[in-house]
Amino acid sequence: MLHGCVPWPEDLAAEYRAGGYWTGQPLDVLLTEGAAAHGDRVALVAADGARWTYAELDAWASRLAAGLVSAGLRPGERVVVQLPNVPEFVALFFAFLRAGVLPVLALPAHRESEIVPLCELSEAVAYVVADSDDAGYDYRELARTVQKAVPSVRQVFVVGEPAEFQSLPSAAPVSLAAPDPSDVALFLLSGGTTGTPKLIPRTHQDYLYNARASASVSGFSADTRYLVALPAAHNFALASPGLLGALAAGGTVVLAPDPSADTAFELIERERVTVSAVVPPVALLWMDAAEFMDEDLSSLQLLQVGGAKFNAEPASRVRATLGCDLQQVFGMAEGLLNFTRLDDPDELKITTQGRPLCPADEVLVVDEEGDPVAPGESGELLTRGPYTLRGYYRAEQHNARSFTPDGFYRSGDVVRVLPSGHLVVEGRVKDQINRGGEKIPAEELENHLLAHPAVHDAAVVGMPDEVMGERTCAFLVVRGEAPTLREVTAFLRSRGVAAYKLPDRVEVLDSFPLTKVGKVSKAALARRIAG
Ligand code: OOB
């Protein structure tokens, strides 16, 4: 396995192969098999209506792969990819797999303060961006900053107007060596809890299982028309089952540039979309909008909701408002996926976050001492399995804390397991804010706040919010005059922090409440702001 990654131990690897979860195939078979079996079926539809058959997408990916090779990219090298939901994302994803080059999938919302450390950590040799987004943000400007800051980034490829950079490279297809299916295929970003980004290596065969098995429990078939409403670079929209799952099933992928009801409903009507995946605030938005918008949503059969807790009350209204079934998905880029099953009773679909995807997924619920709780009690979820990482990339010290000695990933989520095996997510022990599915590592934001000249100390906590689940509150102890929320957010923007990480509220205190051992009590701060 790539240096800096932690492989599965041989006994478990043998078990995963014997169980048929690992097939020894490269991830790219999703497309090559589809092109061979039903090349003339539509694989991909862009927002503007442009479409590609499986054969056309396959040929496009091969030309791009040859282009990457002729641009000097070598197997095992890393490239940070930051693209919105454009067709190039899909073609390029397969091109990277074929060329053996490892994409590091950043979110379009990321800015300098996220992209620079990512490029450094991965020693990226290239960076792929779009020219600009709908709001007019120019990613080439960001690319200039990144290239100056990170010398390993030799090349920048731009989808759209390249300015001084290069367009996506394309060349006549060449034959390329097949990658080792047990090695890394791509890197996903962790939601994170610390001050620095964490990269999640996903291997060919683990991610192939992830996509195929997810597609199967979600009932995906050749008739599936999947709307990519969340960023395609996120595990939920990419492979849980996401666009890769839709392709695995021989279905059609429809790309939405944004998840607004205006955009999504128009595409659902136009393309007769059957399924989509959203975070809870988007589900709420769609449910409200369906009441007054005229688009025909009758093709929609299933709405998958995950990324943050979807409460029972709105969950119980999905069928009445949107006319489709609900599937709750509790997943993580690190691996473990839980789904409510399509044939579960309504009670479980509405009140639980599903049960593990794979029979070989091991789930432990432990107390603060790390001892298993009594059945049905709540505690921290630890997990191990055929598609759950064994270690973050190049993060030895962090790994020692994030994994138990026998390789269980400490999810930081507090859950309770029902007799049926379904999980109910009750909270978390990790120092992270989940703002409507977008993850904010508290320590990272606190470090930025501490750089402000008027900030003496900073502690970031979540505050309950009806729509977002939680919003972000920054508690500050200041020297001199306290900065306003506007000043704080302007300061963070100037440091290149992604917009979703900006605090919603600033509270100034004389000092922070402390725990018995003298640490800042975030629990006390959270109680205070909730009140
Ligand atoms: C998904 O992945 P990430 O990596 O952005 O975030 C993972 C974390 C989980 O550890 C948990 O804290 C939270 O997001 N989460 C949920 C949840 N789904 C995720 N919390 C409560 N209820 C849920 N349904 O968010 C993700 C990846 C693949 C599929 C779906 C979601």
Bridge partners (DSSP) listed for residue 226: 253, 275
Q: What pLDDT score was predicted for residue 328?
A: 99
Whose tokens are 């990819």? That residue is 81
Residue 257: pLDDT band (50, 70, 90) is: very high
pLDDT digits (tens, 9 = 90+) for 450-480: 999 999 999 999 999 999 999 999 999 999 9
| CA 463 to ligand 1 center in whole angstroms | 18
Q: Would strands 199-203 and 184-189 be described as parallel, antiparallel, or unpaired?
A: antiparallel
Q: What pLDDT score was predicted for residue 169?
A: 98
Q: Tell me: pLDDT of 443 over 90.
A: yes
DSSP code for 195: S
Task: Name every residue whose Cβ is closer than 8 Å to that of residue 61 and which is 6 or more positions away in sequence.
Answer: 31, 91, 92, 94, 95, 98
Task: Name every residue whose Cβ is closer than 8 Å to that of residue 508 and which is 6 or more positions away in sequence.
Answer: 475, 476, 477, 478, 482
Q: Between vectors from CA 319 to CA 318 and to CA 321, what angle results, nearest 5°?
A: 65
Residue 195: pLDDT band (50, 70, 90) is: confident
| CA 408 to ligand 1 center in whole angstroms | 17
DSSP code for 414: E
Task: List residues near ligand 1 (CB under 6 A).
Answer: 191, 235-236, 240, 306-309, 328-333, 337, 353, 411, 413, 425, 428, 434, 439
pLDDT digits (tens, 9 = 90+) for 77-110: 999 999 999 999 999 999 999 999 999 999 999 9
Report, as an integer, the average pLDDT of 279-300: 98
Q: Tell me: pLDDT of 259 over 90.
A: yes
Nearest CA to ligand 1 atom 2: 332
- At 173, phi and psi to the nearest 5? -55, 140
What six digits make up the tokens of 367?
Answer: 């107390």
- CB 87 within 8 Å of CB 52: yes
ipTM for the predicted complex comes to 1.00
The region that residue 111 occupies, defined by phi over 0 for left and psi between -120 and 50 for alpha, beta otherwise, is beta
Give me the sign of the Cα torsion angle 322, 328, 334, 336. Answer: negative
Nearest CA to ligand 1 atom 10: 332
| CA 309 to ligand 1 center in whole angstroms | 8
Position in ligand 1 atom list of the atom nearest CA 190: 4
Nearest CA to ligand 1 atom 12: 413
| CA 433 to ligand 1 center in whole angstroms | 12
Position in ligand 1 atom list of the atom nearest CA 188: 4
Whether the model pTM is above 0.95: yes
Q: Tell me: pLDDT of 249 over 90.
A: yes
- CB 473 within 8 Å of CB 529: yes
The rounded mean pLDDT for the chain is: 98
